[in-house]
Amino acid sequence: MTGLGAVTPLGLDIETTWTRLVAGESAGSVITAFPSETHPVRIACEAAEFEPERWVERRTLRRLDRFAQFAVAAARMAEADANLDVGGEQDRVGAAIATAQGGVESLAECCRELAEEGRIHPTLVTAFMPNMAAGWVSLELGLRGPLSSPCTACAASAMAVGQGYDAIRLGRADVMLCGGSEAGITPLAMAGFGAMRALSRRNDIPAQASRPFDAGRDGFVMGEGAAVLVLEELEHAQARDAKVYAEVGGYGLSSDSFHMTEPDPAGTGQARAVLAALRDAGVAAENVDYVNAHASSTPLGDATETVAIKAALGEEKAGTTPMSSIKGAIGHCLGAAGAIEAAVTVLAVKHNIAPPTINYEDQDPSCDLDYVPNEARPAEIDVALSNSFGFGGHNAVLLLRSYEEDSTTRGPLS
């Protein structure tokens, strides 16, 4: 990868996000996006200070839902970080920008206008379509290469990175901007996930409510934001003397085929995705140095991922490999989670630091691995996994590894 951009609850750029994450900070707070006093869940992790006018012209802004605004901002930051000048190469530069929900705020506004006024504004339909973040990134940055928009729940943006990886290694593009975006802190989305009992109800302690792997976890905290990673073919990057953060080694996909909202407790589907990523990269399980867990602070999900990692890496190796979840700090950003976590994993590889799992206080007997509790840890990280698992049984795992200038690898860089 040669460029990173992000808007997260911890910061409006990737540098601030990383710094605060390593410092063990939490973005959990009482919701400010809408009056939440009557809602059973009144906490979230917001990117409250985001200023869309910095990234999109005012005359265009009203046509973009918040999730598309996040995506354009993250893409522009990633493009700048990569020092990428698309120039005359538009046909060889593409994008894969994912989401889980799309423009849920615009969808709710459509329903309100139709019910109250008997009509809707013509821009609202395109505002809530899930592919509009990808469309706007392509339009705003002038990209004419492959364009896609995975919509596979919480695995979506990890799959977007995988699609970009494939596009480059199949020769369909030289550069791909890959990631995801989500803006689900709305009355509709919060009520929907709340009705499923998927959200934490620790309204009195918002900063401590998201607690992956902890025995007291009671659901996830909704987050929002976006991340975009610039993947680039090696020779293309070398030709322009681009800096390189890390290398995409491979990725794996699988389906649980078990339940629409619950993972298979045996963890077999998730383990298959991990093993597929290892095979794709030609890496042995014993060489994994760090795992960035999907763990969202749900009772079943975190325990299942623990089982899956043991199955994929082996009990002994799993027990000695640091594995942490950043969702204690930023909440669960749904369709953007995989991309944000991939960007963080890239930085973990680059800086040899395993970020912490914060709010970890009481051990759950079913979660008995090394979760890097509460404090970041120096670690030699050459090979890392980034896990993303979504409703519907979607499993996606990215393998990221350090880049050596004398490497003969000809795959996409990150």
Q: DSSP states of 262-311 as a string?
A: S--TT-HHHHHHHHHHHHHHT--GGG--EEE----S-HHHHHHHHHHHHH
121: annotated active-site residue? no
pLDDT (tens digit, 0 to 9) for every residue of the chain, 414 residues total? 999 999 999 999 999 999 999 999 999 999 999 999 999 999 999 999 999 999 999 999 999 999 999 999 999 999 999 999 988 889 999 999 999 999 999 999 999 999 999 999 999 999 999 999 999 999 999 999 999 999 999 999 999 999 999 999 999 999 999 999 999 999 999 999 999 999 999 999 999 999 999 999 999 999 999 999 999 999 999 999 999 999 999 999 999 999 998 999 999 999 999 999 999 999 999 999 999 999 999 999 999 999 999 999 999 999 999 999 999 999 999 999 999 999 999 999 999 999 999 999 999 999 999 999 999 999 999 999 999 999 999 999 999 999 987 655 545 666
Spot the catalytic one: 45, 151, 236, 332: 332
Q: Which of 178, 294, 333, 367 is catalytic?
A: 294
- The verdict on whether 154 is a catalytic residue reads yes
Residues 6 or more apart whose CB falls under 8 angstroms from that of 231 comprise 1, 2, 161, 164, 165, 168, 175, 176, 177, 178, 248, 412, 413, 414
Which tokens belong to 372?
A: 């890097």
* Phi, psi of 81, deg, nearest 5: -65, -35
Identify the sign of the CA torsion 261, 265, 269, 272. Answer: positive
Take residue 391 and report the two structure tokens written for it: 């409703």
Contact 366, 395 (CB under 8 A): no
All CATH 3.40.47.10 domain ranges of the chain, comma separated, are 3-239, 247-413
State the DSSP H helix or E strand holding residue 223, giving kind and residue range, or none if neither: none
**How many other C-beta atoms can be found within 10 angstroms of the C-beta atom of residue 90?**
14
Q: 247-413, what's its fold?
A: Peroxisomal Thiolase; Chain A, domain 1 (3.40.47)
Please report the sign of the dihedral spanned by the C-alpha atoms of residue 338, residue 408, residue 230, residue 1.
Answer: positive
Token digits of residue 342? 């991939």
Are 252 and 397 spatial neighbours (Cβ–Cβ below 8 Å)?
A: yes
Strands (E) in 138-270, as ranges, are: 147-148, 175-182, 225-233, 247-255
Closest by alpha carbon to 210, among 222, 197, 223, 220?
A: 220
**SS3 state at 315:** helix
Rounded Cα–Cα distance for residues 68 and 72 (Å): 6
Nearest alpha carbon to residue 376 among 322, 319, 320? 322
Give the number of other CB atoms < 10 A from CB of residue 102.
25
> What 3-state DSSP class applies to 263?
coil
Phi/psi zone of residue 161: left (φ > 0), alpha (ψ -120 to 50 degrees), beta? alpha
In angstroms, the Cα distances linking 103 to 50, 69, 99, 113, 237 are 17, 10, 9, 15, 34
Q: What pLDDT, on the 0 to 100 scale, is given for residue 410?
A: 47
Q: Which CATH superfamily is domain 3-239 in?
A: Thiolase/Chalcone synthase (3.40.47.10)
Q: Which two tokens stand for residue 130?
A: 């899930």
Alpha-carbon gap, residue 34 to 129, rounded angstroms: 22
Distances (CA, A) of 200 to 129, 270, 296, 337, 388: 28, 24, 10, 17, 20
Q: How far apart are alpha carbons 325 and 229 in whole angstroms?
A: 20
Say what the pTM is: 0.96
Distances (CA, A) of 188 to 49, 180, 352: 22, 20, 40
Kindly state the tokens that stand for 296: 């969202």
- Among the listed residues 72, 76, 130, 156, the one whose alpha carbon sits nearest the alpha carbon of residue 338: 156
Name the amino acid, one letter, at 27: A
Given the residues 45, 154, 178, 333, select the one marked as catalytic.
154
